[in-house]
């Protein structure tokens, strides 16, 4: 099993962990997408071009895990909820199509795991692509697209950390503020 996963504990009340893998040159994108849509695979696949830092996904996944625990999800699954939480829009379909992989051969594959349940060991080997260290994520990020999606074209950030702060702030305040 590849050890190039990025893991982060989520809210302690959820007793869960986010586990992410970064892939490039994936050959079976359509098969992966179909397995997720059918519900055969319990994971989410994200376009890495719209992700600046793993923390962005951690924030979305943490919110999804807490919503699942509280029974207050907007979407049907915790994995769709991650994509929804990454987006500024309250439109579920737009969120899923904007952040979910359609044909892109590069992808972030995310799992919410617990002590009793970790499906990543079964699913990751079925992905026909090159696994990359998470430290390479910024090589996949398209800043122009990211700024467009988060409506930051007129914002001048001095560093990626400043940009990340703004992106995550916009993600978590979408229910209170229209951007």
Q: pTM for the complete prediction?
A: 0.92
Beta strands in 11-161 (DSSP E): 17-24, 44-46, 107-113, 130-132
Q: CB-based contacts of 79: which residues, under 8 Å, 6+ apart? A: 36, 42, 43, 44, 64, 110, 112
- Express each pLDDT in 3-59 by its tens digit: 578 999 999 999 999 999 999 999 999 999 999 999 999 999 999 999 999 999 999
- Express each pLDDT in 56-71 by its tens digit: 999 999 999 999 999 9
pLDDT at 1: 42
User: 6-172, superfamily in CATH?
Assistant: CGI121/TPRKB (3.30.2380.10)
pLDDT at 178: 61
**Domain definitions of the chain by residue range:** 6-172
CA distance 96 to 46: 9
pLDDT at 177: 66
In which band, very low, low, confident or very high, does the pLDDT at 129 lie, cut at 50, 70 and 90?
Answer: very high
């Amino acid at each position: 099993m590849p050890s190039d996963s990025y893991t982060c504990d989520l809210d302690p009340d959820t007793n869960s962990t986010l586990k992410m893998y970064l892939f490039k040159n994936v050959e079976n994108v359509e098969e992966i997408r179909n397995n997720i849509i059918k519900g055969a695979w319990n994971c989410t696949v994200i376009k890495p071009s719209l992700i600046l830092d793993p923390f962005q996904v951690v924030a979305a996944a943490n919110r999804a895990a807490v919503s699942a625990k509280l029974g207050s999800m907007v979407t049907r699954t915790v994995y769709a909820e991650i994509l929804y939480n990454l987006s500024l829009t309250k439109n579920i379909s737009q969120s899923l199509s904007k952040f979910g992989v359609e044909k892109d051969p590069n992808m972030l594959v995310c799992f919410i795991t617990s002590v009793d349940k970790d499906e990543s060991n079964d699913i990751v080997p079925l992905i026909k692509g090159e696994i990359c260290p998470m430290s390479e994520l910024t090589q996949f990020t398209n800043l122009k697209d990211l700024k467009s999606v988060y409506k930051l074209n007129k914002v001048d950030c001095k560093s990626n950390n400043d940009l990340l702060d703004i992106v995550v702030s916009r993600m978590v305040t979408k229910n209170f503020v229209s951007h």
